[in-house]
Amino acid sequence: MARLPYAKGSRMPPSAALAAVELVKTYPGGRGAPPVRALDGLSVEVAPGSVMALLGRNGAGKSTTVKILTTLACPDSGQAYVAGIDVRRDQDAVRRAIGLVSQKASSDPMATGRENLALAGRIQGLSRSASAARAAQLLARFDLGDAADRLAKTYSGGMARKLDVAIGLVHRPRVLFLDEPTSGLDPEARAQMWREIARLSAEEQMTALLTTHYLDEADQLADRVAIVDVGRVVVEGTPDELKSELRGDAVQVELAAADTAAASVLNGVRGLREISIDGSRLRARADNGAQAVPAVLAALDSAGVAVASVTVARPSLDDVYLRHVGRAFRAEVAA
């Protein structure tokens, strides 16, 4: 279950680099529509030097959480602390302690990569020479040296995203926020960005809060994952903890045609748990998936249900998501 470590009004413990406590945020619906409750008591805590992924579909409340923690938006209620600073009290101190890589490209297209970094450094209070030195270092670090003096508008998607991350790091923030850092990137650029982020978190022991709607991204990059749904954290833990909590393999049967009655056919099969059906996709869990398959097929066959394919898999974050949110993640993202 979701961990709600503090009662209302409690202070952030010194051990956490970042903590959100019972955040509530409502946006006006507009044109007579009812207000939208983007956050409904979201709590999350990130240990120093670790990477936390907020995983959820669009509209789950991930970006709103980032906006509140980066001082862009104010919560209706709840507390938020970043680097030990109360986000609602001392916004300036928070802004000096954080780096933000927002969902959209945040470089100035009419400036070169180097100029973008130098300006960001100067705004953060670095001297002209320190800012130039830091810019050169980051350009080399992110393999943008050759493109350093080209306008950012000429950068490819992957290069522009790397520049965004470099801009977020220019003042060596204590906490870095990465809001969907790889959305819109092609698979190769995404893999490269993953390597960069993994390297950063390993080399610099940086605390980072990452939002994503890619399960594999959360699995690969994050020390801990919090699954967010309708404005709350529904479950939180290391990817391994979350997966092992599921105990056993996922058995997935693709039926020849959608048949909601098929789920009840499997109720009698021994060792099978958590049977659910979603259209023509039948899912269940078994301690030993391979052993369960013959019994599953026999049961379906005797009930006259045609089967297209069967797969058995070790639990994935997708299964964790399904278990806690009650809907499959991939299907939703695709929808």
**What are the residues binding another protein (CB under 8 A)?**
27, 67, 70-74, 83, 92-93, 95-98, 100, 102-111, 115, 119-120, 122-127, 130, 133-134, 137, 141, 151, 164, 167-168, 171-172, 174, 203-204, 206
Residue partners of 185: CB distance under 8 A and separation at least 6: 157, 158, 161, 193
CB atoms within 10 A of CB 119: 17
Question: What is d(CA 218, CA 52) in angstroms, rounded to the nearest whole number?
Answer: 8
Angle, helices 157-169/187-204, rounded to nearest 10 degrees: 20
The number of C-alpha atoms within 13 Å of 32 and in the hemisphere containing its C-beta is 0
Nearer to another protein, 123 or 258 (CB): 123
Q: What's the min distance (Å) between Cβ of 105 and another protein?
A: 5
Tell me the DSSP string of 291-310: HHHHHHHHHHHHTT--EEEE
Nearer to another protein, 137 or 280 (CB): 137
CB-based burial, 219-254: b 16+ in 10 Å, e otherwise: bebbebbbbbbbbbbbbbbebeebbeebebbbbbbe
Instruction: Give the residue among 27, 36, 69 at the shortest CA–CA distance from 211.
Output: 69
Nearer to another protein, 62 or 134 (CB): 134
Determine the 3-state secondary structure of 7 from DSSP.
coil
Nearer to another protein, 103 or 252 (CB): 103
Nearer to another protein, 97 or 234 (CB): 97
Nearer to another protein, 82 or 246 (CB): 82
Nearer to another protein, 23 or 97 (CB): 97
Q: What's the min distance (Å) between Cβ of 141 and another protein?
A: 6
Q: What's the min distance (Å) between Cβ of 177 and another protein?
A: 8
Dihedrals φ, ψ of 300, to 5°?
A: -65, -40
DSSP lists the bridge partners of residue 251 as 284, 312
Do residues 315 and 249 make contact, with C-beta atoms less than 8 angstroms apart? yes
